[in-house]
Amino acid sequence: MESRKKPSPSQDGFFNVSNLYLAVSQKTSMKHLPLSPQIFIRNRERFVREMKGGSIAIFNSNDEMPSNGDALYTYKQNSDLYWLTGIEQEDTMLILFPGNPDEKYREVLVLLRPNEMKEKWDGKRLRANEATEISGIQKIVWLDSLDVLLQPWIHLADTIYLNSNENDRKGSLIETRDYRYIKEMKERYPLHHYERSAKILKRLRAIKTAEEIEVLKVAVSVTDDAFRRLLDFIHPGVMEYEIEAAILHEFIRKRCNGVAYNSIIASGDRARTLHYVSNNAECKDGELVLMDFGANYGGYCADLTRTVPVNGKFTQRQKEVYNACLSLHNFCKSILKPGISIVDYTEKVADEATDQFIKIGLLNEADVKNEDKENRAYRKYLYHGISHHLGVDVHDLGTRVEPIEAGMVFTVEPGIYIEEEKMGIRIENNFWITENGNIDLMSNIPITVEEIEYLMQTRPTAK
């Protein structure tokens, strides 16, 4: 058969995104091509429109986190600050004060002053003009000179917006810089009114702009490249970590920041462990290998899952279960539209999953008739959620109870996990919600049994 073809890239290696980038010659500290500052200018405009009159908003970067000895974990910028500025450097702040009488201080980017000795050890830090090119912010202030400026601005404001992590899946109890700063500001300025920036950002970040979608498309394109490379690479005897290494190699060579999350490469029965990241086993003849991975490009995340036969050929039973999972995937995308809530969406998917599991012999009518409505029978074989918001974070901010809106981006990732057969299958694509339904951002990535087998069996390394 003829497999679906990946679109031909433009001369710079990407897809119809010429308006997305500044000149490649611009000096930046990141691997990816410089993004247009309009992405971040527009994001700040959206936030400012939501601010109360007479208010100031302050955002902090993440801490540099120590690991052991004098070492630090790889630095990851605060997602909200990145969404507003595009700046990936530590010790950064953003101040938005639309009512400042001095117009040049209505938006201020605060950076660590470049230090010659520190740069000899840790590398170059942003200069003011470079930060302006990335963020579109004209006024740059050095961190060591901020206090003398900030106090009179605070005195002019009635309300102070401060930020915190309000992602529903937050699990860490570590007191981050955001929370320390909240305490400090409330002690210094106890008579001001305080508002939560996170409440605004949860709404805004869920609705992607057209410019953000273009960056996501690049992350998806690179993820597509990596998957096609794997179809040429996977064979009986390959180690899971070798597959993981091939993914990272493809991402880095395509100028990605790296992986959007730790890659899950789970062969055989290990595919039933949802967040399996050991990736240290041999992929054996006759097994399936579930691969859940995605590129982080320009600060935006792709999230793909495919399950393929290690030897390039599904068994009859593997094909039957895979096609049931694909049918469920297709049902999910058919109902993921503006107006439906995640709660209603999940219930409809549950009914379809029940039907599919009956067809492939996992459930029978008695199982369904006697099921606990709080823990339905299908949950034995599908024990995770079907969709999550996607964007700057792989589990991005967004509502779980209100109706889905145009502009949101979701994963669709049903799975089937059968303990008795030591089998786990999951299929995941990323969808941009539009007024008329949704657009599958991964529609060009091979997904059917026939496409996967064709590509694996016609590769140069196939026997």
Question: What pLDDT score was predicted for residue 6?
Answer: 61
- Tokens standing for residue 21: 């980038």
What tokens appear for 402 in the block? 């209100």
Q: What percent of the chain has pLDDT over 70?
A: 93
Instruction: Estimate the crossing angle of helix 210-233 against helix 38-50, to 10 degrees.
Output: 130
Alpha carbon dihedral 403, 404, 410, 416, in 10-degree steps, equals: 50
User: How many whole angstroms separate alpha carbon 235 and alpha carbon 451?
Assistant: 17
What is the reported pLDDT for 14?
43
Which position has the token pair 């400026």?
149
- pLDDT at 21 (0 to 100): 45
User: What is the C-alpha to C-alpha distance for residues 227 and 421, in angstroms, rounded to an integer?
Assistant: 26
Give mean pLDDT, residues 218-245. Answer: 98
Total number of residues shown for the chain? 463
pLDDT at 159: 98
Nearest to 21 by CA among 205, 297, 294: 297
Q: Which of 170-184, 232-246, 296-310, 394-408 has the lowest mean pLDDT?
A: 170-184
C-alpha dist (Å) from residue 120 to 26, 66, 116, 125, 236? 21, 20, 6, 11, 47
pLDDT at 167: 80
Q: Is the pLDDT of residue 27 over 50?
A: no
CA atoms of 37 and 20, how far apart (whole Å): 9
Segments in 14-166 forming alpha helices (H):
38-50, 79-85, 116-122, 128-135, 146-156
> Measuring CA to CA, which residue among 404, 417, 446 is closest to residue 429?
446
Which among 348, 43, 458 is positioned nearest to 211, based on CA atoms?
43
DSSP string, 252-320: HHTT--EESS--EEEEGGGGGSTT-----SB--TT-EEEEEE-EEETTEE--EEEEEETTS---HHHHH
The pLDDT of residue 121 is 87
DSSP helix/strand/coil, 411: strand
Query: By 3-state DSSP, what share of the chain in percent is helix, strand and coil, each rounded to 5?
Result: 40, 20, 45
d(C-alpha 45, C-alpha 47), whole Å: 5
Query: Which domains are seen in the chain, by residue range?
Result: 37-206 (3.40.350.10), 210-457 (3.90.230.10)
What does the pLDDT look like over 355-410, one tens digit per residue? 999 999 999 999 999 999 999 999 999 999 999 999 999 999 998 889 999 999 99
241 vs 20, residue with greater confidence: 241
Say whether pLDDT at 213 is over 70.
yes
Query: Would you tell me the crossing angle of helices 38-50 and 128-135 to the nearest 10 degrees?
Result: 70
- 166-181: pLDDT as tens digits: 887 776 778 999 999 9
Chain position carrying tokens 């995937």: 329
Q: Of 153, 142, 163, whose CA–CA distance to 91 is shortest?
A: 142
